[in-house]
Copies of this chain bind each other. A is one copy, B any other.
């Protein structure tokens, strides 16, 4: 018998969540999660986040079809960061890459492009 870990959403009510490919271990993206986004993720098994720029709950892949089925949610030692272990449909990045971390800081391109963003997003 285990009890849910109480997540510390802090002052702004959001925690960062790292999405990692459950099979390959590739780190796909980082986004922010509100209490409601976490609740929806756990209820539906599909990754939800909170968009700070649009100020709204957001289901990953709702427009593009590039959804994330969440196999497990982990919490870090301070309970202020989440790790989503996911089965990623298509690519996680709006640029068409599998992972948002497709560049080194030196500007070297290291990531795999898996779709054409112009064919997926309207504008």
Query: Which residues of A pack against B, CB within 8 Å?
Result: 2-5, 7, 16, 18, 20, 24-27, 29-30, 38, 42, 72-78, 81-83, 93-95, 97, 100-108, 110
Contact = CB atoms under 8 A, between A and B. Distances in A.
| Number of chain copies forming the complex | 2
Given A77-B94, A83-B101, A107 B24 contact: no
Interface SS of A by simple majority: loop
A75 B105 contact: yes
Given A5-B104, A5-B105, 19 more contacts: A2-B107, A3-B107, A4-B105, A4-B106, A5-B106, A5-B107, A18-B27, A25-B25, A27-B83, A29-B76, A30-B81, A42-B105, A73-B105, A74-B105, A75-B104, A75-B105, A76-B101, A77-B94, A77-B102
